Structure 1
Amino acid sequence: MAEGRLAGKAAVVFGGGLNTGPGGVVSIGAASATTFARHGARVAVVDRDPEAAQRTVAAIGEDSGGAAVALVADVTDPGQVQRAVAQAVAHLGRIDVVQNTVGAARLGGLDELTLTDWHRTLALNLDTVFLAAQATMPHLLERGGSMVNVSSTASIRWTGYPYPGYAAAKAGVNQLTRSLALQYAARGVRVNAVLAGLIDTPLVYAQLGGEADDDQVRAERDVLSPTGRAGTAQDVADAALFLASDESRYVTGVLLPVDGGLAARAV
Protein backbone atom coordinates (compact mmCIF):
# COMPACT_ATOMS: atom_id res chain seq x y z
CA MET A 1 0.00 0.00 0.00
CA ALA A 2 1.41 3.35 -1.04
CA GLU A 3 2.37 5.74 1.73
CA GLY A 4 1.50 9.42 1.80
CA ARG A 5 -2.15 9.18 0.81
CA LEU A 6 -2.95 11.88 3.38
CA ALA A 7 0.32 13.80 3.09
CA GLY A 8 -0.06 17.43 4.12
CA LYS A 9 -3.51 16.89 5.62
CA ALA A 10 -4.71 17.41 9.18
CA ALA A 11 -7.17 14.94 10.68
CA VAL A 12 -9.31 14.94 13.80
CA VAL A 13 -10.44 11.56 15.11
CA PHE A 14 -13.18 11.69 17.71
CA GLY A 15 -13.12 8.60 19.89
CA GLY A 16 -9.54 7.92 18.86
CA GLY A 17 -8.22 6.67 22.18
CA LEU A 18 -6.33 3.37 22.20
CA ASN A 19 -7.93 0.57 24.15
CA THR A 20 -7.02 -3.07 23.79
CA GLY A 21 -8.87 -6.31 24.33
CA PRO A 22 -8.13 -10.04 24.34
CA GLY A 23 -5.39 -11.02 21.95
CA GLY A 24 -4.36 -7.39 21.55
CA VAL A 25 -7.41 -6.31 19.54
CA VAL A 26 -7.64 -2.53 19.31
CA SER A 27 -10.39 0.06 18.97
CA ILE A 28 -11.49 1.39 15.58
CA GLY A 29 -10.69 5.01 16.41
CA ALA A 30 -7.12 4.21 17.41
CA ALA A 31 -6.56 2.03 14.34
CA SER A 32 -7.87 4.86 12.14
CA ALA A 33 -5.76 7.54 13.81
CA THR A 34 -2.56 5.51 13.47
CA THR A 35 -3.41 4.64 9.86
CA PHE A 36 -4.03 8.28 8.98
CA ALA A 37 -0.70 9.23 10.55
CA ARG A 38 1.12 6.44 8.74
CA HIS A 39 -0.15 7.93 5.50
CA GLY A 40 1.14 11.40 6.24
CA ALA A 41 -1.60 13.15 8.19
CA ARG A 42 -1.05 15.18 11.32
CA VAL A 43 -3.65 13.88 13.75
CA ALA A 44 -5.59 15.24 16.70
CA VAL A 45 -6.82 12.34 18.83
CA VAL A 46 -9.93 13.29 20.83
CA ASP A 47 -11.16 11.05 23.61
CA ARG A 48 -12.82 11.48 27.00
CA ASP A 49 -10.09 9.27 28.49
CA PRO A 50 -6.83 11.26 28.48
CA GLU A 51 -4.70 8.16 29.00
CA ALA A 52 -6.31 6.39 26.05
CA ALA A 53 -5.71 9.45 23.84
CA GLN A 54 -2.08 9.58 24.95
CA ARG A 55 -1.65 5.88 24.17
CA THR A 56 -2.74 6.51 20.60
CA VAL A 57 -0.33 9.42 20.26
CA ALA A 58 2.47 7.22 21.60
CA ALA A 59 1.52 4.45 19.17
CA ILE A 60 1.61 6.93 16.30
CA GLY A 61 5.09 8.00 17.31
CA GLU A 62 6.30 4.42 17.51
CA ASP A 63 4.54 3.32 14.34
CA SER A 64 5.39 6.13 11.94
CA GLY A 65 7.03 8.96 13.83
CA GLY A 66 4.04 11.05 12.79
CA ALA A 67 2.85 14.23 14.43
CA ALA A 68 -0.13 13.85 16.77
CA VAL A 69 -1.73 15.56 19.73
CA ALA A 70 -4.00 14.14 22.43
CA LEU A 71 -7.09 16.16 23.32
CA VAL A 72 -9.70 15.44 25.98
CA ALA A 73 -13.43 15.90 25.47
CA ASP A 74 -16.73 14.26 26.24
CA VAL A 75 -18.22 14.41 22.75
CA THR A 76 -21.76 14.45 24.12
CA ASP A 77 -21.01 17.91 25.54
CA PRO A 78 -21.26 20.75 22.97
CA GLY A 79 -18.88 23.04 24.85
CA GLN A 80 -16.21 20.39 25.17
CA VAL A 81 -16.49 19.52 21.49
CA GLN A 82 -16.08 23.15 20.44
CA ARG A 83 -13.08 23.52 22.75
CA ALA A 84 -11.42 20.37 21.39
CA VAL A 85 -11.90 21.54 17.81
CA ALA A 86 -10.39 24.93 18.63
CA GLN A 87 -7.43 23.17 20.25
CA ALA A 88 -7.04 20.91 17.23
CA VAL A 89 -6.93 23.89 14.90
CA ALA A 90 -4.40 25.60 17.16
CA HIS A 91 -2.14 22.54 17.02
CA LEU A 92 -2.70 21.48 13.42
CA GLY A 93 -3.38 24.82 11.74
CA ARG A 94 -6.31 23.41 9.73
CA ILE A 95 -8.72 20.49 9.48
CA ASP A 96 -9.03 18.42 6.31
CA VAL A 97 -10.38 15.14 7.65
CA VAL A 98 -12.83 14.38 10.44
CA GLN A 99 -13.69 10.90 11.66
CA ASN A 100 -16.57 10.36 14.08
CA THR A 101 -16.01 7.08 15.88
CA VAL A 102 -17.64 7.59 19.27
CA GLY A 103 -20.30 4.99 20.00
CA ALA A 104 -21.28 1.96 22.01
CA ALA A 105 -24.12 -0.52 22.22
CA ARG A 106 -26.45 -1.24 25.12
CA LEU A 107 -28.12 -4.63 25.10
CA GLY A 108 -31.75 -5.02 26.04
CA GLY A 109 -35.23 -5.36 24.63
CA LEU A 110 -38.17 -3.05 25.09
CA ASP A 111 -38.97 -4.64 28.43
CA GLU A 112 -35.46 -4.06 29.74
CA LEU A 113 -34.50 -0.60 28.50
CA THR A 114 -35.65 2.59 30.17
CA LEU A 115 -36.27 5.86 28.42
CA THR A 116 -33.06 7.10 30.05
CA ASP A 117 -31.17 4.16 28.49
CA TRP A 118 -32.67 5.06 25.11
CA HIS A 119 -31.70 8.72 25.37
CA ARG A 120 -28.17 7.88 26.49
CA THR A 121 -27.71 5.53 23.55
CA LEU A 122 -28.91 8.14 21.09
CA ALA A 123 -26.69 10.77 22.68
CA LEU A 124 -23.59 8.60 22.50
CA ASN A 125 -24.09 7.28 18.98
CA LEU A 126 -25.96 10.04 17.14
CA ASP A 127 -25.65 13.31 19.04
CA THR A 128 -21.88 12.96 19.03
CA VAL A 129 -21.79 12.89 15.23
CA PHE A 130 -24.04 15.94 15.02
CA LEU A 131 -21.98 17.92 17.53
CA ALA A 132 -18.66 17.02 15.91
CA ALA A 133 -20.00 17.85 12.46
CA GLN A 134 -21.39 21.16 13.70
CA ALA A 135 -18.05 22.14 15.21
CA THR A 136 -15.80 21.00 12.35
CA MET A 137 -17.81 21.79 9.24
CA PRO A 138 -16.77 25.47 9.13
CA HIS A 139 -13.13 24.33 8.98
CA LEU A 140 -13.78 21.69 6.32
CA LEU A 141 -15.53 24.31 4.21
CA GLU A 142 -12.42 26.49 4.14
CA ARG A 143 -10.54 24.17 1.76
CA GLY A 144 -12.87 21.27 1.15
CA GLY A 145 -12.43 18.10 3.09
CA SER A 146 -13.77 14.72 4.09
CA MET A 147 -15.89 13.53 6.99
CA VAL A 148 -16.09 9.82 7.77
CA ASN A 149 -18.78 8.62 10.16
CA VAL A 150 -18.51 5.17 11.69
CA SER A 151 -21.92 3.54 11.57
CA SER A 152 -22.88 -0.13 11.79
CA THR A 153 -24.44 -2.90 9.75
CA ALA A 154 -26.99 -2.96 12.57
CA SER A 155 -28.37 0.26 11.06
CA ILE A 156 -29.73 -1.63 8.06
CA ARG A 157 -30.36 -5.20 9.23
CA TRP A 158 -30.69 -7.47 12.24
CA THR A 159 -27.27 -8.68 13.37
CA GLY A 160 -28.31 -11.09 16.11
CA TYR A 161 -27.99 -8.70 19.05
CA PRO A 162 -30.91 -7.00 20.84
CA TYR A 163 -29.86 -3.36 20.89
CA PRO A 164 -32.70 -1.35 19.34
CA GLY A 165 -31.40 2.01 20.57
CA TYR A 166 -28.00 1.39 18.99
CA ALA A 167 -29.56 0.25 15.71
CA ALA A 168 -31.87 3.26 15.58
CA ALA A 169 -29.07 5.68 16.43
CA LYS A 170 -26.79 4.28 13.74
CA ALA A 171 -29.65 4.50 11.22
CA GLY A 172 -29.82 8.16 12.19
CA VAL A 173 -26.09 8.47 11.53
CA ASN A 174 -26.68 7.07 8.04
CA GLN A 175 -29.32 9.62 7.14
CA LEU A 176 -27.38 12.46 8.76
CA THR A 177 -24.44 11.42 6.60
CA ARG A 178 -26.49 11.53 3.41
CA SER A 179 -28.14 14.81 4.35
CA LEU A 180 -24.84 16.55 5.06
CA ALA A 181 -23.23 15.03 1.97
CA LEU A 182 -25.83 16.58 -0.31
CA GLN A 183 -26.07 19.86 1.55
CA TYR A 184 -22.34 20.51 1.27
CA ALA A 185 -21.42 18.65 -1.93
CA ALA A 186 -21.27 21.79 -4.06
CA ARG A 187 -19.00 23.44 -1.48
CA GLY A 188 -16.29 20.82 -1.67
CA VAL A 189 -16.98 18.78 1.47
CA ARG A 190 -17.58 15.03 1.22
CA VAL A 191 -19.41 13.08 3.91
CA ASN A 192 -19.50 9.28 3.94
CA ALA A 193 -20.08 6.51 6.46
CA VAL A 194 -18.50 3.15 7.10
CA LEU A 195 -20.99 0.52 8.22
CA ALA A 196 -18.88 -1.69 10.45
CA GLY A 197 -20.05 -5.28 10.74
CA LEU A 198 -18.90 -7.93 13.17
CA ILE A 199 -15.62 -6.27 14.11
CA ASP A 200 -13.33 -7.66 16.81
CA THR A 201 -12.82 -4.71 19.16
CA PRO A 202 -12.42 -4.26 22.94
CA LEU A 203 -16.03 -3.05 23.25
CA VAL A 204 -17.31 -6.41 22.03
CA TYR A 205 -15.92 -8.19 25.06
CA ALA A 206 -16.90 -5.41 27.46
CA GLN A 207 -20.47 -4.92 26.28
CA LEU A 208 -21.68 -7.95 24.32
CA GLY A 209 -19.93 -10.89 25.93
CA GLY A 210 -22.21 -11.37 28.92
CA GLU A 211 -21.18 -14.45 30.89
CA ALA A 212 -19.28 -16.03 27.98
CA ASP A 213 -15.50 -16.21 28.03
CA ASP A 214 -13.45 -14.32 25.45
CA ASP A 215 -12.79 -17.34 23.22
CA GLN A 216 -16.48 -18.19 23.13
CA VAL A 217 -17.43 -14.60 22.25
CA ARG A 218 -14.93 -14.58 19.40
CA ALA A 219 -15.99 -17.99 18.09
CA GLU A 220 -19.68 -17.07 18.10
CA ARG A 221 -19.04 -13.89 16.14
CA ASP A 222 -16.80 -15.68 13.65
CA VAL A 223 -19.65 -18.09 12.88
CA LEU A 224 -22.08 -15.20 12.27
CA SER A 225 -19.87 -13.72 9.53
CA PRO A 226 -20.24 -14.96 5.92
CA THR A 227 -16.44 -15.05 5.73
CA GLY A 228 -16.15 -17.26 8.78
CA ARG A 229 -14.28 -14.65 10.77
CA ALA A 230 -14.99 -11.34 12.38
CA GLY A 231 -13.31 -8.29 10.92
CA THR A 232 -10.62 -6.20 12.57
CA ALA A 233 -10.37 -2.54 13.46
CA GLN A 234 -7.76 -2.27 10.72
CA ASP A 235 -10.33 -3.43 8.14
CA VAL A 236 -12.48 -0.44 9.09
CA ALA A 237 -9.49 1.91 9.25
CA ASP A 238 -8.41 0.97 5.73
CA ALA A 239 -11.87 1.79 4.38
CA ALA A 240 -11.85 5.06 6.30
CA LEU A 241 -8.45 5.89 4.80
CA PHE A 242 -9.88 5.56 1.30
CA LEU A 243 -12.84 7.79 2.15
CA ALA A 244 -10.57 10.34 3.82
CA SER A 245 -8.12 10.48 0.91
CA ASP A 246 -8.32 12.22 -2.44
CA GLU A 247 -8.71 8.80 -4.05
CA SER A 248 -12.41 9.08 -3.14
CA ARG A 249 -12.72 12.68 -4.33
CA TYR A 250 -15.89 11.87 -6.33
CA VAL A 251 -17.46 9.78 -3.57
CA THR A 252 -19.96 11.34 -1.18
CA GLY A 253 -23.15 10.26 0.55
CA VAL A 254 -22.01 6.63 0.51
CA LEU A 255 -22.79 4.10 3.22
CA LEU A 256 -19.96 1.61 2.79
CA PRO A 257 -20.44 -1.77 4.51
CA VAL A 258 -17.23 -3.24 5.91
CA ASP A 259 -18.78 -6.45 7.13
CA GLY A 260 -17.58 -9.47 5.18
CA GLY A 261 -20.85 -9.60 3.23
CA LEU A 262 -23.16 -9.54 6.25
CA ALA A 263 -25.35 -6.78 4.82
CA ALA A 264 -25.78 -8.70 1.57
CA ARG A 265 -26.92 -11.91 3.25
CA ALA A 266 -30.66 -12.37 3.57
CA VAL A 267 -30.50 -14.53 6.69
Structure 2
Amino acid sequence: MSERMKGKTVIVVGAGSSGPGWGNGKAAAALYAREGAKVFAVDFRLEAAQETESIIRAEGGECSSFRADVVSSEDLRDMAAACVEQYGQIDVLHNNVGIVETGGPVETSEESWNRVIAVNQTSVFLACKHVLPYMTARNSGAIVNIGSIAGVRWIGFPYVAYSAAKAALISMTTNIAVQYAAQGVRANCVLPGLMNTPLIREPLAKTYGGNVDSMIEQRDKLSPTGKMGDAWDTAYAALYLASEEARYVNGTSIVVDGGLTARCV
Protein backbone atom coordinates (compact mmCIF):
# COMPACT_ATOMS: atom_id res chain seq x y z
CA MET A 1 0.00 0.00 0.00
CA SER A 2 1.06 3.60 -0.60
CA GLU A 3 0.25 4.98 2.88
CA ARG A 4 -1.93 7.70 1.36
CA MET A 5 -3.65 8.16 4.72
CA LYS A 6 -0.59 8.02 6.97
CA GLY A 7 -0.96 10.38 9.93
CA LYS A 8 -4.72 10.73 9.38
CA THR A 9 -7.57 9.84 11.70
CA VAL A 10 -10.76 8.64 10.04
CA ILE A 11 -14.18 8.20 11.58
CA VAL A 12 -16.16 5.59 9.67
CA VAL A 13 -19.82 5.75 10.65
CA GLY A 14 -21.33 2.40 9.75
CA ALA A 15 -18.04 0.52 9.91
CA GLY A 16 -19.65 -2.82 10.60
CA SER A 17 -21.29 -5.11 8.10
CA SER A 18 -25.01 -5.92 8.17
CA GLY A 19 -24.22 -9.58 7.44
CA PRO A 20 -21.42 -11.95 6.47
CA GLY A 21 -18.98 -10.52 3.96
CA TRP A 22 -17.77 -7.04 3.11
CA GLY A 23 -20.16 -4.11 3.36
CA ASN A 24 -19.20 -0.65 2.10
CA GLY A 25 -18.29 0.70 5.53
CA LYS A 26 -16.31 -2.35 6.61
CA ALA A 27 -14.29 -2.32 3.39
CA ALA A 28 -13.67 1.42 3.63
CA ALA A 29 -12.47 1.14 7.23
CA ALA A 30 -10.08 -1.66 6.32
CA LEU A 31 -8.77 0.22 3.28
CA TYR A 32 -8.19 3.45 5.20
CA ALA A 33 -6.23 1.46 7.79
CA ARG A 34 -4.19 -0.33 5.11
CA GLU A 35 -3.25 3.09 3.77
CA GLY A 36 -1.95 4.15 7.18
CA ALA A 37 -4.94 5.81 8.86
CA LYS A 38 -6.04 5.42 12.45
CA VAL A 39 -9.66 4.32 12.20
CA PHE A 40 -12.45 5.09 14.62
CA ALA A 41 -15.01 2.43 13.73
CA VAL A 42 -18.58 3.36 14.64
CA ASP A 43 -21.67 1.20 14.40
CA PHE A 44 -25.04 0.73 16.10
CA ARG A 45 -24.01 -2.88 16.72
CA LEU A 46 -20.81 -2.67 18.72
CA GLU A 47 -19.94 -6.26 17.87
CA ALA A 48 -19.98 -5.37 14.15
CA ALA A 49 -17.57 -2.49 14.73
CA GLN A 50 -15.39 -4.74 16.87
CA GLU A 51 -15.25 -7.33 14.10
CA THR A 52 -13.92 -4.65 11.74
CA GLU A 53 -11.47 -3.54 14.43
CA SER A 54 -10.19 -7.09 14.86
CA ILE A 55 -9.58 -7.41 11.11
CA ILE A 56 -7.67 -4.12 11.04
CA ARG A 57 -5.59 -4.98 14.08
CA ALA A 58 -4.81 -8.45 12.70
CA GLU A 59 -3.37 -6.71 9.65
CA GLY A 60 -1.21 -4.47 11.83
CA GLY A 61 -3.40 -1.38 11.64
CA GLU A 62 -4.77 0.86 14.36
CA CYS A 63 -8.49 0.99 15.13
CA SER A 64 -10.90 1.66 17.97
CA SER A 65 -14.58 0.75 18.15
CA PHE A 66 -17.49 2.89 19.31
CA ARG A 67 -21.22 2.26 19.55
CA ALA A 68 -23.58 5.00 18.40
CA ASP A 69 -27.16 5.30 17.27
CA VAL A 70 -26.83 7.53 14.21
CA VAL A 71 -30.20 9.18 14.76
CA SER A 72 -29.11 10.31 18.24
CA SER A 73 -27.49 13.72 18.32
CA GLU A 74 -26.09 12.98 21.76
CA ASP A 75 -24.48 9.74 20.58
CA LEU A 76 -22.81 11.44 17.61
CA ARG A 77 -21.62 14.34 19.75
CA ASP A 78 -20.04 11.78 22.09
CA MET A 79 -18.59 9.95 19.08
CA ALA A 80 -16.73 13.03 17.87
CA ALA A 81 -15.47 13.85 21.35
CA ALA A 82 -14.33 10.27 21.97
CA CYS A 83 -12.41 10.16 18.69
CA VAL A 84 -10.57 13.38 19.52
CA GLU A 85 -9.85 12.13 23.03
CA GLN A 86 -8.46 8.87 21.59
CA TYR A 87 -6.50 10.18 18.61
CA GLY A 88 -6.26 13.96 19.07
CA GLN A 89 -7.92 14.93 15.78
CA ILE A 90 -10.48 14.09 13.09
CA ASP A 91 -9.17 14.33 9.54
CA VAL A 92 -11.89 12.44 7.69
CA LEU A 93 -15.56 11.79 8.40
CA HIS A 94 -16.88 8.90 6.32
CA ASN A 95 -20.68 8.63 6.52
CA ASN A 96 -21.76 5.20 5.35
CA VAL A 97 -24.91 4.27 7.28
CA GLY A 98 -27.95 3.45 5.20
CA ILE A 99 -31.05 1.28 5.11
CA VAL A 100 -33.27 0.30 2.19
CA GLU A 101 -37.05 -0.06 2.37
CA THR A 102 -38.98 -0.41 -0.86
CA GLY A 103 -42.28 1.14 -1.86
CA GLY A 104 -43.76 4.16 -3.57
CA PRO A 105 -45.65 6.98 -1.85
CA VAL A 106 -48.85 4.95 -1.51
CA GLU A 107 -47.28 1.72 -0.26
CA THR A 108 -44.74 3.35 2.07
CA SER A 109 -45.99 3.92 5.60
CA GLU A 110 -45.26 7.16 7.38
CA GLU A 111 -43.23 5.17 9.89
CA SER A 112 -41.09 3.69 7.12
CA TRP A 113 -40.63 7.10 5.49
CA ASN A 114 -39.52 8.71 8.76
CA ARG A 115 -37.18 5.82 9.58
CA VAL A 116 -35.46 5.82 6.16
CA ILE A 117 -35.07 9.60 6.10
CA ALA A 118 -33.68 9.60 9.64
CA VAL A 119 -31.11 6.86 9.06
CA ASN A 120 -30.02 7.85 5.55
CA GLN A 121 -30.19 11.65 5.73
CA THR A 122 -30.58 13.04 9.23
CA SER A 123 -27.73 10.87 10.50
CA VAL A 124 -25.32 12.57 8.10
CA PHE A 125 -26.53 16.00 9.17
CA LEU A 126 -25.95 15.10 12.81
CA ALA A 127 -22.52 13.59 12.22
CA CYS A 128 -21.40 16.66 10.27
CA LYS A 129 -22.91 18.96 12.90
CA HIS A 130 -20.74 17.47 15.63
CA VAL A 131 -17.55 16.79 13.65
CA LEU A 132 -17.24 20.02 11.67
CA PRO A 133 -16.25 22.17 14.67
CA TYR A 134 -13.23 19.93 15.26
CA MET A 135 -12.25 20.16 11.59
CA THR A 136 -12.63 23.93 11.32
CA ALA A 137 -10.61 24.39 14.51
CA ARG A 138 -7.68 22.85 12.60
CA ASN A 139 -8.63 24.41 9.25
CA SER A 140 -8.53 20.97 7.69
CA GLY A 141 -10.80 18.04 6.98
CA ALA A 142 -12.58 15.89 4.43
CA ILE A 143 -16.12 14.55 4.54
CA VAL A 144 -17.04 11.59 2.36
CA ASN A 145 -20.74 10.75 2.18
CA ILE A 146 -21.88 7.47 0.67
CA GLY A 147 -24.99 8.12 -1.38
CA SER A 148 -26.54 6.11 -4.19
CA ILE A 149 -27.44 6.47 -7.84
CA ALA A 150 -31.00 6.08 -6.55
CA GLY A 151 -30.66 9.75 -5.64
CA VAL A 152 -30.35 10.69 -9.33
CA ARG A 153 -32.28 8.03 -11.28
CA TRP A 154 -34.79 5.18 -11.21
CA ILE A 155 -33.03 1.88 -10.57
CA GLY A 156 -35.76 -0.67 -11.23
CA PHE A 157 -38.07 -0.59 -8.21
CA PRO A 158 -39.78 2.17 -6.19
CA TYR A 159 -37.66 3.33 -3.28
CA VAL A 160 -39.39 6.66 -2.67
CA ALA A 161 -37.99 7.34 0.81
CA TYR A 162 -34.54 5.95 0.05
CA SER A 163 -34.31 7.89 -3.22
CA ALA A 164 -35.48 11.09 -1.54
CA ALA A 165 -32.93 10.71 1.25
CA LYS A 166 -30.06 10.05 -1.15
CA ALA A 167 -31.03 12.97 -3.39
CA ALA A 168 -31.09 15.23 -0.33
CA LEU A 169 -27.69 13.88 0.73
CA ILE A 170 -26.15 15.04 -2.55
CA SER A 171 -27.55 18.55 -2.11
CA MET A 172 -26.55 18.67 1.55
CA THR A 173 -23.00 17.66 0.64
CA THR A 174 -22.64 20.46 -1.93
CA ASN A 175 -23.96 22.97 0.60
CA ILE A 176 -21.40 21.89 3.18
CA ALA A 177 -18.64 21.86 0.56
CA VAL A 178 -19.19 25.47 -0.45
CA GLN A 179 -19.86 26.82 3.04
CA TYR A 180 -16.72 25.30 4.55
CA ALA A 181 -14.29 25.45 1.62
CA ALA A 182 -12.58 28.59 2.93
CA GLN A 183 -12.14 26.87 6.29
CA GLY A 184 -10.13 24.03 4.81
CA VAL A 185 -12.87 21.40 4.76
CA ARG A 186 -13.94 19.47 1.66
CA ALA A 187 -17.14 17.45 1.24
CA ASN A 188 -17.92 14.98 -1.54
CA CYS A 189 -20.16 12.01 -2.30
CA VAL A 190 -19.68 8.53 -3.67
CA LEU A 191 -22.75 7.26 -5.53
CA PRO A 192 -22.62 3.46 -5.79
CA GLY A 193 -24.86 1.69 -8.26
CA LEU A 194 -26.03 -1.90 -8.01
CA MET A 195 -23.56 -3.43 -5.58
CA ASN A 196 -23.25 -6.96 -4.22
CA THR A 197 -22.99 -6.34 -0.48
CA PRO A 198 -24.65 -7.90 2.59
CA LEU A 199 -27.07 -4.96 2.76
CA ILE A 200 -29.02 -6.08 -0.31
CA ARG A 201 -29.66 -9.67 0.72
CA GLU A 202 -32.41 -9.42 3.32
CA PRO A 203 -34.35 -6.25 2.47
CA LEU A 204 -34.25 -6.59 -1.31
CA ALA A 205 -34.59 -10.34 -1.94
CA LYS A 206 -38.38 -10.18 -1.49
CA THR A 207 -38.59 -7.47 -4.13
CA TYR A 208 -36.89 -9.80 -6.60
CA GLY A 209 -39.13 -12.77 -5.83
CA GLY A 210 -37.58 -13.96 -2.58
CA ASN A 211 -34.60 -15.86 -3.97
CA VAL A 212 -31.18 -14.33 -3.28
CA ASP A 213 -29.45 -16.09 -6.17
CA SER A 214 -32.16 -14.96 -8.58
CA MET A 215 -31.88 -11.42 -7.25
CA ILE A 216 -28.13 -11.38 -7.82
CA GLU A 217 -28.57 -12.73 -11.34
CA GLN A 218 -31.17 -10.08 -12.18
CA ARG A 219 -29.09 -7.25 -10.73
CA ASP A 220 -25.98 -8.47 -12.57
CA LYS A 221 -27.91 -8.33 -15.85
CA LEU A 222 -28.98 -4.74 -15.19
CA SER A 223 -25.36 -3.57 -15.18
CA PRO A 224 -23.73 -2.69 -18.52
CA THR A 225 -20.71 -4.69 -17.34
CA GLY A 226 -22.86 -7.77 -16.75
CA LYS A 227 -21.92 -7.85 -13.08
CA MET A 228 -22.59 -5.80 -9.98
CA GLY A 229 -19.80 -3.97 -8.23
CA ASP A 230 -18.79 -4.69 -4.65
CA ALA A 231 -17.81 -2.90 -1.47
CA TRP A 232 -14.20 -2.44 -2.56
CA ASP A 233 -15.27 -0.44 -5.61
CA THR A 234 -17.03 2.00 -3.29
CA ALA A 235 -14.15 2.00 -0.81
CA TYR A 236 -11.48 2.91 -3.37
CA ALA A 237 -13.55 5.85 -4.62
CA ALA A 238 -13.97 7.03 -1.03
CA LEU A 239 -10.25 6.64 -0.38
CA TYR A 240 -9.46 8.93 -3.29
CA LEU A 241 -11.87 11.61 -2.08
CA ALA A 242 -10.49 11.40 1.46
CA SER A 243 -6.85 11.59 0.38
CA GLU A 244 -4.65 14.55 -0.42
CA GLU A 245 -4.78 13.48 -4.06
CA ALA A 246 -8.28 14.99 -4.09
CA ARG A 247 -7.28 18.18 -2.27
CA TYR A 248 -8.94 20.35 -4.94
CA VAL A 249 -11.99 18.11 -5.40
CA ASN A 250 -14.91 19.61 -3.52
CA GLY A 251 -18.69 19.51 -3.74
CA THR A 252 -18.87 16.75 -6.32
CA SER A 253 -20.14 13.18 -6.64
CA ILE A 254 -18.25 10.20 -8.04
CA VAL A 255 -20.57 7.68 -9.65
CA VAL A 256 -19.45 4.06 -9.17
CA ASP A 257 -21.96 2.00 -11.13
CA GLY A 258 -20.32 0.33 -14.13
CA GLY A 259 -21.98 2.78 -16.49
CA LEU A 260 -25.59 2.25 -15.38
CA THR A 261 -26.50 5.93 -15.07
CA ALA A 262 -24.93 6.60 -18.46
CA ARG A 263 -27.27 4.13 -20.13
CA CYS A 264 -30.64 5.47 -21.29
CA VAL A 265 -32.51 2.16 -21.22
TM-score, normalised with respect to structure 2: 0.96
Q: Does 1:128 align with 2:123?
A: yes
Tell me the SS of whatever aligns to 2:11: strand
Structure 1 residues 147-191: Cα deviation after superposition (integer angstroms, max 9, x where no partner): 000000000000002111000000000000000000011111000
Partner of 2:239: 241
Q: Does 1:170 align with 2:170?
A: no
Match of 1:186 among 168, 173, 182: 182
Partner of 1:95: 90
Q: 1:18 to 1:115 in 2, by over 3 A?
A: closer
Letter in 1 for 2:259: G
Q: Does 1:6 align with 2:5?
A: yes
**Partner Cα separation in structure 1 for residue 52 and residue 129 of structure 2:** 25
**Partner Cα separation in structure 2 for residue 115 and residue 212 of structure 1:** 25
Query: Quick check: 1:33–1:43 contact (8 Å CA) kept in 2?
Result: yes
Letter in 1 for 2:232: Q
**Partner Cα separation in structure 2 for residue 39 and residue 53 of structure 1:** 19
Cα drift, residue 137 of structure 1: 0.5
Query: Quick check: 1:13–1:99 contact (8 Å CA) kept in 2?
Result: yes
Cα drift, residue 213 of structure 1: 2.2
Query: Quick check: 1:177–1:191 contact (8 Å CA) kept in 2?
Result: yes
Partner of 2:227: 229
Query: Quick check: 2:17–2:198 contact (8 Å CA) kept in 1?
Result: no
Cα drift, residue 238 of structure 1: 0.3
Tell me the SS of whatever aligns to 1:195: strand
Partner of 1:45: 41
Match of 1:150 among 143, 146, 149: 146
Cα drift, residue 19 of structure 1: 3.9
Partner of 1:198: 194
Cα drift, residue 117 of structure 1: 1.4
Structure 1 residues 113-137: Cα deviation after superposition (integer angstroms, max 9, x where no partner): 1122111111010001100000101
Query: Quick check: 2:11–2:94 contact (8 Å CA) kept in 1?
Result: yes
Tell me the SS of whatever aligns to 1:113: coil
Letter in 1 for 2:260: L
Identity of aligned residues (%): 43
Query: Quick check: 1:96–1:143 contact (8 Å CA) kept in 2?
Result: no
Letter in 2 for 1:212: G
Query: Quick check: 1:18–1:30 contact (8 Å CA) kept in 2?
Result: yes
CA-atom RMSD in angstroms? 1.0
Cα drift, residue 194 of structure 1: 0.2
Query: Quick check: 2:174–2:252 contact (8 Å CA) kept in 1?
Result: yes
Unpaired segments of 5 or more residues in structure 2? none
Partner of 2:24: 28
Query: Quick check: 2:190–2:256 contact (8 Å CA) kept in 1?
Result: yes
TM-score, normalised with respect to structure 1: 0.96
**Partner Cα separation in structure 1 for residue 105 and residue 182 of structure 2:** 42
Higher mean C-alpha deviation, range 120-129 or range 109-118: 109-118
Structure 1 residues 225-260: Cα deviation after superposition (integer angstroms, max 9, x where no partner): 111100000000000000000000000001110111
Structure 1's consecutive aligned runs of 4 or more residues displaced over 4 angstroms after TM superposition are: none
Tell me the SS of whatever aligns to 1:200: coil
Cα drift, residue 214 of structure 1: 2.1
Tell me the SS of whatever aligns to 2:239: helix
Tell me the SS of whatever aligns to 1:262: coil
